[in-house]
Structure 1
């Protein structure tokens, strides 16, 4: 699938401009000395790390970093999968199922490789469907773990901001006769709430939405592959395999059939007559 770098660059430029506007409004309203309050930073970030490390195993946290990175950098290439499965369908029609063994050995994508192995093992289409659907459910569950991490951060960060506010107010009241300490504690109190809201609404929630979109794209890819494998198992024609996978894409993303569609359809009709 072709990546539109022009649109990506425009998007990044818009985000950068909006961040500059927000930064300018913050700095214009609050001095840098007050905005970067060490006490507030310690409460918010230490609290987030403690909450996350207590709640999730290290494997989930490492997967969160990996999947978050992939959601920004990795493009899901439906076209490659559709063309690859169409080629398998043509090969199976021509030379039989055993001919795809070399393709299985070369395939690097685990999900597609597992589907090809099931197909090559002569399992019934119902069995293949059941196995692949369970595989999709398991993969979807694993992909949702990073989503849950950021969901927790979006809930915890504002609460920690309120805790920072309470700590600042307690410090304010305990130093009521010391004007300098009153100002420091008041700054920590208010800035903590600001930090919590910014982390929740400008970092955690947007990343959650991005991960959810990445999950949806992966699940669609798995369903497209599953549909193609099942159609091959049912001995459907190569053209039908391609078309039924292709219509699962959005209308503007659908692919042009790579082969001579009329000849394949005539061949299919000839097979039916026989």
Structure 2
């Protein structure tokens, strides 16, 4: 597994922001009109504050890691995983379970390594399955908890935008008698800017980040699910060819095509 910069996240952000602001400028808008501090404080300060209320201290400490996961991508080599699992079951069937001891020492993935070690410990099929499933479930719960703040921020931000707009209108109406036309227009624009920022931050940042984390979680779950089925196949002594067919069935169509091509090249 290799971690690299996630160009889709960065490219998507640049594309959506660039499109919105380009359209705004084409309509005669000015970027300086968007640089208002008060709406920023209300939207982001309010949203972050409300989300913080719902989180634990450990959750707050994990936020830098979540942002790293959003802007970087882990490449999972499904073909290599399936090939290794099939090779290991050949070793197990030919030389016995004990021969997996040397294999376990070379495995870098902690999840896969634990699965092989469970086999070496003499655990039965049901026990290994339960242990690995519990680990996957715990990981899914952890990932869900990590993505939750962005989902909540996406729900709260538009409301904060409305609050900012209402507060701005209250200030404008309070000074309506002494305000000039230019000052009044500027105040109304700033007030509605809060609504824009609230809706934009929710739909351009918070909710997409939430979906991004869910997608990355699903990919890791699939990887571990394949690894678990492979370990269980090794434990039960499944024929390597049968095991490969079973594991390939879990792959999305794009990965199946790669698997088919690699299989042809290997013949």
TM-score by length of 2: 0.85
Question: What corresponds to 2:17 in structure 1?
Answer: 19
Question: What corresponds to 1:70 in structure 2?
Answer: 69
Q: Distance in 2 between matches of 1:107 and 1:159?
A: 49
Q: Does structure 1 conserve the Cα–Cα contact (< 8 Å) formed by 2:48 and 2:153?
A: no
- Offset, 1:245: 0.7
The change in CA–CA distance for 1:152 and 1:129 in structure 2 (over 3 A counts) is same
28-37 vs 238-247, greater mean Cα deviation:
28-37
244-253 vs 136-145, greater mean Cα deviation:
244-253
- Offset, 1:132: 1.0
Structure 2 residue runs of 5 or longer lacking an equivalent are none
Question: What corresponds to 1:50 in structure 2?
Answer: 49
Q: Distance in 2 between matches of 1:11 and 1:111?
A: 28
Q: Distance in 2 between matches of 1:125 and 1:14?
A: 44
Q: Distance in 2 between matches of 1:113 and 1:10?
A: 32
- For the residue of structure 2 that corresponds to 1:107, the secondary structure is coil
**Bigger RCO of structures 1 and 2 (CA < 8 A, at least 6 apart):** 2
Question: What corresponds to 1:202 in structure 2?
Answer: 204
Question: What corresponds to 1:98 in structure 2?
Answer: 98
**Deviation digits for residues 190-236 of structure 1, max 9, x if unmatched?**
00000001101111122222211111111111111111111111111
- For the residue of structure 2 that corresponds to 1:106, the secondary structure is coil
Aligned pairs for 1:128-207 (under 5 A) are 128-176=128-176, 177-179=178-180, 181-207=183-209
Q: Distance in 1 between matches of 2:90 and 2:143?
A: 33
89-98 vs 122-131, greater mean Cα deviation:
89-98
171-180 vs 25-34, greater mean Cα deviation:
25-34
Q: Distance in 1 between matches of 2:80 and 2:66?
A: 21
Q: Distance in 2 between matches of 1:32 and 1:151?
A: 28
Q: Does structure 2 conserve the Cα–Cα contact (< 8 Å) formed by 1:171 and 1:182?
A: no
- For the residue of structure 2 that corresponds to 1:73, the secondary structure is strand
- Offset, 1:77: 2.2
**Deviation digits for residues 136-163 of structure 1, max 9, x if unmatched?**
1111000112221110010011011011
Question: What corresponds to 1:31 in structure 2?
Answer: 30
> Alignment length, in residue pairs?
258
Out of 241, 247, 254, the position equivalent to 2:249 is 247
- Offset, 1:252: 3.4
- Offset, 1:40: 0.4
- Offset, 1:76: 2.4
Structure 1 residue runs of 5 or longer lacking an equivalent are 263-274
* RMSD between superposed Cα atoms in Å: 2.9
91-100 vs 11-20, greater mean Cα deviation:
11-20
Q: Does structure 2 conserve the Cα–Cα contact (< 8 Å) formed by 1:64 and 1:145?
A: no
TM-score by length of 1: 0.83
